[in-house]
Amino acid sequence: MVSMIKIHGAGVAPVAVLLLVALLPSHASTTMDEPAVYKHAAPAPSPTSPAKAQPVIIVQGVIFCKSCKLPGYNHDMDASPLPNATAKLVCYGGADKSGGGYRVLNMTSTPTDKTGYFLFMVYDVTMFSRESRMVHLRTSPTVSCDAPYLPADASLGIILEQSEKKKNVYSAKSALMYAPRKGRKCPRHY
């Protein structure tokens, strides 16, 4: 039989708890519900060969505003670069390797910069290598120059040509262009 020993009228258990709390460092917790702190250490990289880069196709071009003398105006084209416009890349193709049906790749470009330059980065290389691929006008940043001009119908596209130096780079065969609609004036600035 275990009997409780009394020290100055107090039980041993309460004294032990008080002693434990007094001896714990000030930053230590006395609760038991806190989860343990886990510090993740990433495994060391393997000294084997580096990972192969994912193949990518680059499609590039420019979008201009016809007959408007804005910054960057090109006298020979009678057009100015149209910043913040976008183009659309569409690739049509037949069945894929897995036996699936007809597939279409439809992408929107980066917004054009101050020179009218846009870019697509296509990672679905098998889809890009389909039969028909064209670049279309998508959006104009201003209602003052939003009528499709080249091509005259936004549903029509401009074909692409492959770079002779870099086989993964394609460019639109001509600039894409918007023009002011009838009765509208060119934007004053952009």
Answer yes or no: is pLDDT of 37 > 80: no
Answer yes or no: is pLDDT of 172 > 70: yes
pLDDT band for position 128 (cuts 50, 70, 90)? confident
**Of 121 and 51, the one with more pLDDT:** 121
From 14-23, 48-57, 132-141, 151-160, the region with the lowest mean pLDDT: 14-23
Q: What is the pLDDT of residues 76-93, one digit of tens each?
A: 999 999 999 999 999 887
Q: What is the pLDDT of residues 91-113, one digit of tens each?
A: 887 665 666 667 788 999 999 99
pLDDT band for position 1 (cuts 50, 70, 90)? very low
> Considering Cα of 107, then 113, then 116, then 121, what sign does the dihedral take?
negative
**Of 59 and 128, the one with more pLDDT:** 59
Q: What is the DSSP secondary-structure string of the chain?
A: ---PPEETTEEHHHHHHHHHHHHS-TT----S-PPPP----PPPPPSSPPPPPPP-EEEEEEEEEET---TT-BTTTTEEE-TT-EEEEEEEE---TTS---EEEEEE-PPP-TT-EEEEEE--HHHHTSSEEEEEEEE-S-GGG-EEEESSSTTS-EEEEE-SS-TTEEEESS-EEEEPPTT-PPPS--
Rounded percentage of the chain residues whose pLDDT exceeds 90 = 51
Q: How confident is the model at residue 136, as a pLDDT?
A: 95
Q: How confident is the model at residue 155, as a pLDDT?
A: 87
Answer yes or no: is pLDDT of 176 > 50: yes
Single-letter residue type at 161:
E
Residue with tokens 């290389």: 125
Say which residues have a Cβ less than 8 Å from residue 130's Cβ, sequence separation at least 6.
91, 92, 93, 94, 103, 105
Q: How confident is the model at residue 53, as a pLDDT?
A: 74
Say which residues have a Cβ less than 8 Å from residue 117's Cβ, sequence separation at least 6.
60, 61, 62, 81
Single-letter residue type at 164:
E
pLDDT band for position 52 (cuts 50, 70, 90)? confident
